[in-house]
Structure 1
Amino acid sequence: MPLHFNTRVIDEFRTNAGRLGGPFEGWVLLLLTTTGARSGKEHTTPLGFVEDGDRLLVTGSAGGSDRHPDWYRNLLVNPTVTVELGTETWQATAVAATGTERDELFARVVAAAPGYADYQKATDRIIPVVALYRVPEDTYTPPDRLDALADELVAIHDWLRRELAALSDGLGDPTAPGLTVELRRHCLTFCSAMAVHHGGEDAGLFPYLARTHPEKADAFERLRAEHTTVARVLDELGTALARLDEVPPAVLRAEFDRLRAELETHFAYEEEQVIPLLRGSA
């Protein structure tokens, strides 16, 4: 949609608690605010969506154009977004689906809103599907949300594991033409997602669980220490990627393998210690 048209829709949405008239009368849209990949400025876009359990699905259809929308490229770099729906506003983690999962989610979107199939027919571009996972709003998470939070934690870990696999595939031949940009893009996406995920746990989830389960103090101390280690390894991998022309492939692979080993150990321990507490089975 043209910028001026988007502005009118956004103003109407916020003035009327999400209710729209004109060509969108009767539609239920959300507003998605992303952070510019290059500018760092916030950008808000009205989007249709499909509910899928506790998450929302949005598609980068762009009316069937041959170019991904800006908001999609933004969230690949900065996956923390803001969602406005009706009178509610919350932060979410935006996870772009890939491979067969993307195909399955796109089929769900088309089943709910068949017009998206026409957009896909209009372009050779694979229209992306993005899942929006609501981020807990405060440190004191109400008990009746903890089970859903466990599902969200596993979903985020699974996405991060897939991103690790994508990075690993990219490192198969770090000297391939054009690979530098893709490796850096994947690394930026992954590093940003890890910083948001670990920052949210350190500031909210872990302090809450430490208060309700003081017997697990050692476990949370270890998890926070692992966050520090992972952040350091991510920085070192980022430095190596920034000097890709100078760093031997074997050195880059060693840095990545170290990161993957740290994260696989960390995810396994966190799920072993935290998931039972969230599900109330500890």
Structure 2
Amino acid sequence: MNQTTPRPDDPAFTALWEAHRRRMLDLAFRMLLHFPDAEDVVQEAFARLARTDLVGIDDPEAWLVVVTSRLCLDKLRARRRRPTDGLDLVDDPFDPHAPDPSNRVALVDNVSMAMHALLERLSPAERTSFVLHDVFQYPFEEVATIVGRSAASCRQLASRARRTLRAESASGRFPVDSALHRQVSERFIEACIGGDLEGLLVLLDPAVEGKGDTVPGVAVGAAEVAPGILRYLGPPASPTLLHLPVGDRIGIVALRGRRVLALVLLTIEDGLVVHVDALAGPGPRAVVSAALGLR
């Protein structure tokens, strides 16, 4: 599907597309864990918005969240009725004989596959309630209007999903994305999108280290690392940035269209980024592409 604004000649609509598309894409991906499906859902949500009188919508972002979430819920229910091989990425993502997780590519591969397998075990309503409330902090009263159940029922659905995730986290098989990681990743992405050097610097430890797998050497210090990050992730390059939890680190995927450019891993200590690891080689990009469903 062509990922462009449905009303390119309408400045007001284009502004809404630019302001909200990335967040809707992030929401759809976290629910579906399949990037092409997430893109299609977001495109359809904006297409529906394009057919709606914007004057009658008080809060376009809230409107988009409801429509995007309901479209995702429909897809999740359809998957339950018609499971596809595309999501059955491995027979056992928790295979004890898997490659050494100290290998960065293997880590991304193993955790991503585990995340797919685990969330597929949740019912569509459990998954939707959990992602909307626990990940995106929407109140259960709003979640209820999307899921089509009472707020109390959605609270119970999210609780069941949370217990399942925590049980896997306690076993060491599936580290759960923390609220702190979510907050840091959002601020990191927003700073990159806006080319906000100061906003990025406040997220970095003064002694942060940055390295990549395609360039030699290690950058040391926030004043050196931050401009390098913006050079590749900020304007004018401006790739699409997507949050992908990877073990106990934050993963930021940079994409151009449906092509993965890099995976940036952020290590957090005491609320600050202490290490930035940019993986842009063919191996990591292929693994991330597979994890996103871009094969």
**TM-score normalized by the length of structure 2:** 0.27
**TM-score normalized by the length of structure 1:** 0.28
